[in-house]
Structure 1
Amino acid sequence: MIGRYFDYNATTPLREEVASTMIENIMLFGNPSSTHSFGQLAKLKMEEARLHVATLINAEETDIFFTSGGTESINTALKGHFLSNDKRPFHIITSKIEHAATLEVCRYLSTLGAEITYLPVDTNGFIAIEDLKNAIQENTALVSIMFANNEIGSIQPIQEMVRVVKNINSNIIFHVDAVQVIGKIQIDVRDLGVDALSMAAHKIYGPKGTGALYLKNGERKLDQLLHGGGQEKGFRGGTENLLAIIGFGKACEMAKEELMQNANKIIALRSYFLDKLENSIEHYEINGPVLGEDLLQNTINISFLNIRAEALAVLLSQTYGIAVSIGSACSADKANLSHVLLALGLSEDRIKSSIRISFGNYTDYKDIDYFMESLKASVNRLRSMLPVG
């Protein structure tokens, strides 16, 4: 049941309207690169989707390049700029709380000679502007910062960061991992001033396996990763995932139409959840920002004293059918502690007792009531199993 799903930051359900649009076009088999009528119809549908993606972030259609998802978009932005730039050593600035898609690329590029600076964050997961400014060197070529953290919800002041970086050196490329914020907050790439921005369809109720990379002014200086038949204006080889792209476009269209409505709903749900939590369970701590405009309102990371997150997540799932996360879903199978919570300075014990709860479009007050009753029972049960004395 979708109502028992509290892991929207990991992925979102496919919207019924998106599924319907994809089904309507499922027999559209033409290759968008073909010049005959079958291919041109496919191309028309793909360009309609490109327009919807561009409109969501106030970009030009020519600035949008389809990829297989957020990971490929991030890889393309970072590796592509590294390979196209002859400045050595190539200096990259990022943060300690980035998604693995960014951190692993940086780790790989460091083996090729790139110099990486990992900015620290405060106890709420925010990067200090002064730290960013001080990190810029003569050979700094790229800055890559995530717009909002997927585990704790902290939203970075991207516009201010871009301004600081560009005032020092306008040639530095500024890339933003916006995978977690698209469709949740208003994004205007013109106001932000970013050079590149990564997106994924499955975070906004679209299909998995597709995403997009925004490149300012259709920036093509970076090297392509996939060579082939010259698709995406010669930027990314390989026949496009047409059906998924059509679904992505529909998801963006609906996200644009409903953004404010859904944002207000999520704010109300968060307030309701926090009130219920305070009155239901003792001895807990919220990790990251609690209130304010500089956080994803749908994201709450909580530590429960004398509880192990794995046990709590399993109990919630097996007994009550509730889905929560014990960290980033992309690395939940790893034994390592959450690098995000470590960066906040939290103790190992607190990190091991932390779960992430994330709401979405299909969450309502009844769902939160059921969740809170189940959470209270689960926490009490686990605590009752502790040895006395």
Structure 2
Amino acid sequence: MLGKYFDYNATTPLREEVASILIDNLLLFGNPSSSHSFGQFAKEKIEEGRSQVAALINADSSEILFTSGGTESINTALKGFFFACDKRPFHIITSKIEHSATLELCHYLASLGAEITYLPVDANGFIAIEDLVNAIHEHTALISIMYANNEIGTIQPIKEMAKAIKQINRDIFFHVDAVQALGKIPINVHDLEVDALSLAAHKIYGPKGTGALYLKKGNQQLVQLLHGGGQENGLRGGTENLLGIIGFGQACALATEELLQHKHNTVALRNYFLEKIKHAIEQIEMNSPEIEGDVLQNTFNISFTNIRAEALSVLLSQVYGIAVSIGSACSAEKAELSHVLLALGLSEERIKSSIRISFGLYTDYKDIDYLVDSLKEAVTRLRSILPVG
């Protein structure tokens, strides 16, 4: 069945190696906060996982705070800094193509008096550094930008952004949503010079319900969201998700070892897919940038002229057993046009005919062949029986 799964950006399958580690530790029950041997053994496992997560992004293990996922990591950084900062007025800069976790949180902070600037993007989804710099003013305290977009795959120039921000004001807190980038592109937090970075396990073949927030040393003065027993250096109360952390750590360890090879394989599959689909199906438009170095190589957002994406997605699922997406998994149930594609300036008709295809570790060339053949049949069928005027 994995050969028919093309929605890796929504979530990834649990790796067998990770599942094996989880099974081996399934009966581990000690509370990591307890001083006896059962608790201390559990604590050792958590610290091992923390070190493995840190190694993937070249951080120190003390800079990793475990959370329940990417959404909590984003909330911890942005909301935590907003309430900890005594600077008022409080200005936040983000972009129009951020994940809903960031956008909804910014709407909430605006209701509390924050000024929000939403940066535009160009036709390929890139934020102009000039626009970012021009948006900064004396009350700017927080900037949050997505590293790689989940719908179109655009990779932002985070290092250059950080440099520009710090040259203007080193006190501005720069947070990066790296949930979709983790495990797909090299991330070196010291090279990037960001203040905070959000991560999630289920995007890199780890278990759901576990995430992490990188907090640069010296920038850990946040108001905690969850008050309790003082876990995670006093920043997140509550007994840690032991199994989730063990699984996340193992997934990161595997990603560290395989990152370059995985990227090489993904580029080859990308090129193969693009060549095949462009020859197989007429009247398609690529919404993802076709730039090898500046886009996630596993991500394709494609419009099929005279097709409704919902109908195509259902047909692919029910007849061919293929899973694709018609937008972000977090907003798929809402009857709204993709805010990301709207920000690119695409027409309503083009957006309504767009699907996202994303593949990963378990995708091979035979899977690509099956996908393209199925797409060709499905598109031909829909265009013949459900013509759109």
Normalised by the length of structure 2, the TM-score is 0.99
- CA offset at residue 87 of structure 1? 1.0
CA distance in 2, matches of 1:256, 1:132: 32
1:300 matched residue in structure 2? 300
Task: Report the equivalent of 1:26.
Answer: 26
**In 2: Cα distance, 1:198 partner to 1:332 partner:** 22
The answer to whether the 8 A contact 2:288-2:301 is kept is yes
What residue is the counterpart of 2:226 in the other structure?
A: 226
For 1:176-228, what per-residue CA distance to the aligned partner results, in whole angstroms no more than 9, with x for missing partners?
00000100000000000000000000000000000000000163211111000
Deviation at 1:387, TM superposition (A): 5.2
> What is the alpha-carbon distance in structure 1 between the residues aligned to residue 108 and residue 234 of structure 2?
25
Mapped partners of 1:363, 1:383: distance in 2: 28
Alignment match, 2:120: 120
Secondary structure of the 1:293 match is: coil
Q: Deviations over 1:265-317 (max 9, x none)?
A: 00000000001001100000000301220100000000000000000000000
Letter of the 1:121 partner, please give it: V
Aligned to 1:166: 166
Residues 32 and 39, structure 2, Cα contact 8 Å, conserved in 1 = yes
- Aligned residue number for residue 133 of structure 1: 133
SS at match of 2:32: coil
Tell me, in whole angstroms, the C-alpha distance in 1 between the residues paired with 2:89 and 2:103: 18
3-state secondary structure, aligned to 2:232: helix
Match of 1:351 in 2: 351
The separation in 2 between residues aligned to 1:318 and 1:373, in whole angstroms, is 15
Equivalent-residue separation in structure 1 for 2:48 and 2:78 (angstroms): 28
Amino acid across the alignment from 1:277: I
Q: Distance in 2 between matches of 1:131 and 1:65?
A: 32
Matches within 5 A, 1:58-77: 58-77=58-77
* Maintained 8 Å contact 2:49/2:245: yes
* Contact map agreement 2:307 2:387 (CA 8 A) in 1: no
CA distance in 2, matches of 1:186, 1:131: 26
Superimposed CA distance per residue, residues 24-78 of structure 1 (whole angstroms, 9 cap, x where no aligned partner) = 0011000000000000000000100000000000000000000000000000100
- Counterparts of 2:387 and 2:170, CA distance in 1: 61
Distance in 2 separating the partners of 1:28 and 1:305: 54
Matched, 1:179 2:146: no
CA distance in 2, matches of 1:243, 1:254: 17
Q: Does residue 258 of the first structure (1) align with residue 258 of the second (2)?
A: yes
Shift in alpha-carbon separation, 1:163–1:320, aligned structure 2, 3 A: same
Give the equivalent residue in structure 2 for 1:110: 110
Q: Does the aligned pair in 2 maintain the 1:64–1:218 contact within 8 Å?
A: no
Q: Does 1:85 align with 2:85?
A: yes
1:272 aligns with 2:240: no
Q: Is the 8 A contact 1:123 1:288 kept in 2?
A: no
User: How far, CA to CA, are the matches of 1:113 and 1:8 in structure 2?
Assistant: 37
CA 1:385–1:80 in 2, change beyond 3 Å: closer, same or farther?
same
For the structure 1 residues 387 and 256, does the alpha-carbon distance in structure 2 shift closer, same or farther, using more than 3 Å as the test?
closer
Q: Residue 330 of structure 1 aligns to a residue in which SS?
A: coil
Do 1:63 and 1:218's aligned partners in 2 also have CA atoms closer than 8 Å? no
One-letter identity of the residue aligned with 1:270? R
AA matched with 2:62? T
Amino acid at match of 2:282: E
CA contact (8 A) 1:194 1:216 kept: yes
Give 1:24's aligned amino acid: D
Tell me the residue number matched to 1:154: 154
Identity, % of aligned positions: 74
Note if 1:331 corresponds to 2:331. Answer: yes
SS of residue paired to 2:92: strand
Alignment match, 2:40: 40
SS at match of 1:151: coil
Q: Is the 8 A contact 1:143 1:175 kept in 2?
A: yes
Q: Find the counterpart in structure 2 of residue 378 from structure 1.
A: 378
**Structure 1 Cα separation of the partners of residues 207 and 387 of structure 2:** 47
Question: Is the CA contact 2:97–2:339 (under 8 Å) kept in the aligned structure 1?
Answer: yes
Summarize the Cα distance change of 1:160–1:35 in structure 2 as closer, same or farther, 3 Å threshold.
Answer: same
SS of the equivalent of 1:360 reads coil
Q: 1:97 — aligned with what?
A: 97
AA at the equivalent of 2:278: E
Could you tell me how far apart the structure 2 residues matched to 1:104 and 1:388 are?
Answer: 34
CA distance in 1, matches of 2:108, 2:257: 39
* Alpha-carbon contact 2:140-2:172 (below 8 Å) kept: yes
TM-aligned CA distance change 1:387 to 1:28, over 3 Å: closer
Letter in structure 2 aligned against 1:319? V
Name the counterpart of 2:342: 342
Q: Displacement, 1:86?
A: 1.2
